Amino acid sequence: MNHFAAIRAQLDRYGIDAMLLTNEANRFYASGFRSIGTDGVAFVTKKRAYYWTDSRYIEAAGRQVADAELALATVERGYAALINEAAARDGVETVGFEDEYMTVAELERYRSRLHVALKPATELLTGLRMVKDGAEIAALTDAQRIAERALAEIYNDVRVGVTEKEIAAKLTYLMLRYGAENVSFDPIVASGANGSKPHAVPSDKPIAAGEFVTMDFGCICRGYCSDMTRTVAVGYVTEEMERVYHTVLRAQLAGIAAARAGVPSCDVHNAAAKVIADAGYGAYFGHGFGHGVGVEIHESPRASTTWKDPLPAGAVISAEPGIYLPGRFGVRIEDVVVIREGGCENLHRAPKELLILP
């Protein structure tokens, strides 16, 4: 899967003759080949696409990169020289670059070595990546199925005395065992009072009876991320724990019901936030309803109070409201949905009813 043609089709709209891609995620989106950090460059002109990398990746790139001219970058003939050669060959005068990713030092090096004008054009890739095609949604769905398989098995391990770190490690192992390329991010496992921290780091704390355990995790399949959160109880729950759990679930369902193409994403967030506020917990929901999921675990669009733009059909966002009571416990429930005309499609199959493990 590559998107060279889609990028080429947008060049005129942004007033550029070519797009220079140095960011790891954007290079992968363009080429379908992942190399680490700055070890690769994709260059898309109106006539053709190029992909250059060094000796560590050239063989693998040769097997995976299609629809592009591949060349080896060396000390003597580095990326700047290759860009200049391609620009001269294809009549390129103005090149878009990723101003939201490139460092000032990188930009200055390119400006001093290239024979073209550089123009900020991160929005070209942001706009394309925001709307997923069928192959991308298939990869996202497969990543989700792997994560759900791991979830179903990890329930056997969530019990009194097991530590948060042990659960996090087992989740990572299970996702890799069932076919993941990697994890989308380091799993979050938080029990008891640690659950009031939305991005808690798994600790040596053992799980105790009467606690919630929040597990936020995901994996990568064919370069695309899954993301999910489930909060379960161990032993028993108090009346307030049950009330908070069902408030979060109602809030999530309200946000999902509001999500459809053309709706400002802040409206989706507000639909969920209202449920939480009406239940008296508004002060304990401090983050947005969701974020885009794709090549990166956090990308555009966002479903938050600050994002006023309408959601486009084909966008994929998380749906993850939460309530966090400092020093006591927290609850978060997360699915991932595809925005469609007239509604949205939930990629998750894992149950969300309150689960109390023995």
pLDDT tens digits in sequence order for the chain, 358 residues long? 999 999 999 999 999 999 999 999 999 999 999 988 778 999 999 999 999 999 999 999 999 999 999 999 999 999 999 999 999 999 999 999 999 999 999 999 999 999 999 999 999 999 999 999 999 999 999 999 999 999 999 999 999 999 999 999 999 999 999 999 999 999 999 999 999 999 999 999 999 999 999 999 999 999 999 999 999 999 999 999 999 999 999 999 999 999 999 999 999 999 999 999 999 999 999 999 999 999 999 999 999 999 999 999 999 999 999 999 999 999 999 999 999 999 999 999 999 999 999 9
**Token pair for residue 259?**
């999500």
- Token pair 């799980």: residue: 207
CB 72 within 8 A of CB 10: no
- Which CATH topology does 134-357 take? Creatine Amidinohydrolase (3.90.230)
| The model's pTM | 0.95
**Token pair for residue 161?**
């005395």
Centre a 10 Å sphere on the Cβ of residue 340 and count the other Cβ atoms it contains. Answer: 15
CA-to-CA separations, 120 to 14, 37, 125, 239, in angstroms, rounded:
9, 20, 11, 54
Q: Quote the CA–CA distance of 175 and 62 in Å, as a whole number.
A: 28
34: Cβ contacts below 8 Å, ≥ 6 apart: 24, 27, 28, 223
- Which CATH topology does 4-129 take? Creatine Amidinohydrolase; Chain A, domain 1 (3.40.350)
Task: Please name which of 204, 201, 205, 203 lies closest in space to residue 216, comparing C-alpha atoms.
Answer: 201
Q: Is the dihedral of CA 237, 321, 177, 349 positive or negative?
A: positive
User: What pLDDT was estimated at residue 39?
Assistant: 87
CA 147 to chain centre: 14
Q: Quote the CA–CA distance of 10 and 124 in Å, as a whole number.
A: 7
Centre a 10 Å sphere on the Cβ of residue 13 and count the other Cβ atoms it contains. Answer: 11
Q: Quote the CA–CA distance of 73 and 16 in Å, as a whole number.
A: 24
278: Cβ contacts below 8 Å, ≥ 6 apart: none
Centre a 10 Å sphere on the Cβ of residue 218 and count the other Cβ atoms it contains. Answer: 27
CB 132 within 8 A of CB 316: yes
Q: Are strands 224-225 and 299-303 parallel, antiparallel or unpaired?
A: unpaired
User: What pLDDT was estimated at residue 129?
Assistant: 98
Segments making up each domain of the chain, as ranges? 4-129, 134-357
- Token pair 């597990």: residue: 215
CB 25 within 8 A of CB 295: yes
User: What pLDDT was estimated at residue 36?
Assistant: 83
Q: Are strands 94-97 and 18-21 parallel, antiparallel or unpaired?
A: parallel
User: What pLDDT was estimated at residue 44?
Assistant: 98
Q: Report how far apart the first and last C-alpha atoms of the chain are (Å, whole number).
A: 45
**Token pair for residue 90?**
């294809």
